[in-house]
Structure 1
């Protein structure tokens, strides 16, 4: 795999679980994950996101699939995802939970997508509604492994570096299809993105976003790492 889009290539579709939430209805098979990542890429593309653009994402207090789809969709376009948007993000698109939509003052020209509840402001797009109505095919954009895929603070990470690091996690922890990787650290830490999202998807394992359930591996630090119920723990600080 050379770019993030390869994680959701057509031949990766299956009935295996890619993302597990607290309900089967809200969980994603690899079939659903790939298709919805393509749709998300097409939504963002429709609103002007291209290679080199930034997609700012607020992953919320309780992680759900939309922020992960934003990462994958932006990756399909060669855009950069930022999970630490700040109050006034400079981005082509902003993806935020409905409860926090009014907390942001983005630059003019930024399209705000709200996920969860339907937005009150007609200027905001409802992420889920837009996604379901989109074309379920992969965007045609060409992405280079040397393109920036993720930014955090003043650091930038290319597709190549992120996937190389994720392969290291897969090898070190022996991740396989029957593993569930519990995300117990913020996505604002790029190590969490690598170990908690990219690595399990690369391995065909499951990203566990239901923090009340127990996986086989946790991505956590500090007290969360000490209290994690999983038998193995990855510290995001050690990943990149």
Structure 2
């Protein structure tokens, strides 16, 4: 498949399947010992999907994924602290969970309200999020102290590395942000526009500098580069949901795109992409 043939994909599951056969780096997280290759990352998405299927995540169902720091700080941050950290990425596990749910045909809520009312919740181990009865808790980092909480990365490691058999269609809902939901087809339309407008390709580096709490950031910083085999880089000091960095400096929530020659750097404002996605959603 060519580096820019996004139109050949029908669902995000197709992107993951194609990624298994790609060479190069998918995700490079500052502070992690080694980057994720495309083959390893997409294989682990398959494994995550198989794991989540055991805990009630299925086609037309739901999955809550609270994206937050894996690194251990406060063992039990309150809801205010969690809200501040929501969307900050320092590990691959929350992305594995989110993609794992989407390739099952479930809608993944990445800004879940408490109590979480979904078959399963994936969240940092140090967060003690309130969940409704029947919601299974899976935690990354830690390991979790409570015996009833499933250790996400340990369980993913032992899962079957084959593609989940669930059928996914373009009309299936895939991602939800604060009660706004996008289908696979709508997300791929936005990805196609981004790839064309910002010349994102296999040789591109995408520096994620926005918290993953709105659709524009997730689509520009994660989905678009993964669709074409670009490399996503996660810097050490991720901005928080209030668009301030670790030093309290105000930031423009954006994603930097750098060409293979490290020239022609472009900024993609997350809010601008969100507005564009809402226009697609209204069509």
DSSP 3-state at the match of 1:48: coil
How far 1:186 sits from its partner (Å)? 1.9
State TM-score, norm by structure 1.
0.89
Q: What is the aligned partner in structure 2 of residue 53 from structure 1?
A: 61
How far 1:11 sits from its partner (Å)? 6.2
Separation in 2, partners of 1:203, 1:10? 9
State TM-score, norm by structure 2.
0.76
Q: Say whether the 8 Å CA contact 2:201–2:228 is kept in structure 1.
A: yes
How far 1:193 sits from its partner (Å)? 1.2
Structure 1 stretches of at least 4 aligned residues deviating more than 4 Å after TM superposition: 226-230
Q: What is the aligned partner in structure 1 of residue 149 from structure 2?
A: 124
Q: Within the alignment, does 1:233 sit opposite 2:272 as a pair?
A: no
Separation in 2, partners of 1:227, 1:74? 25
Deviations 1:134-166 (A, max 9, x none): 000000000110010011122110000001101
Question: Which of 110, 113, 122 does residue 83 from structure 1 map onto?
Answer: 110
Separation in 2, partners of 1:57, 1:212? 21
Deviations 1:179-204 (A, max 9, x none): 22122222120111111110000110
Q: Say whether the 8 Å CA contact 2:64–2:120 is kept in structure 1.
A: yes
Aligned counterparts, 1:118-157, within 5 A: 118-157=143-182
> Which stretches in structure 2 are left out of the alignment for 5+ residues?
1-8, 69-84, 245-249, 258-264, 278-283
**Equivalent residues, number:** 232
- Structure with greater helix share of residues: 1
Q: What is the aligned partner in structure 1 of residue 224 from structure 2?
A: 199
Q: Say whether the 8 Å CA contact 1:54–1:91 is kept in structure 2.
A: yes
Deviations 1:2-51 (A, max 9, x none): 11111110564334100111246342100011100000000000111101
Q: Say whether the 8 Å CA contact 2:217–2:255 is kept in structure 1.
A: no
Q: Say whether the 8 Å CA contact 2:45–2:100 is kept in structure 1.
A: yes
Deviations 1:53-108 (A, max 9, x none): 211111114412111111211111000111111221111111111111x1x11111
DSSP 3-state at the match of 1:37: helix
Deviations 1:107-142 (A, max 9, x none): 111111110110000110001000000000000000
Question: Which of 167, 181, 184 does residue 209 from structure 2 map onto?
Answer: 184
Q: Say whether the 8 Å CA contact 1:184–1:211 is kept in structure 2.
A: no
How far 1:226 sits from its partner (Å)? 8.2
Question: Quick one: structure 1 residues 229 and 177, their matched pair in 2 at CA, closer, same or farther if it must change by over 3 Å?
Answer: closer
Question: Which of 86, 97, 107 does residue 124 from structure 2 map onto?
Answer: 97
Q: Say whether the 8 Å CA contact 1:90–1:110 is kept in structure 2.
A: yes
Separation in 2, partners of 1:157, 1:229? 23
Separation in 1, partners of 2:213, 2:119? 18
Q: Which shifted more, 196-205 or 230-239?
A: 230-239
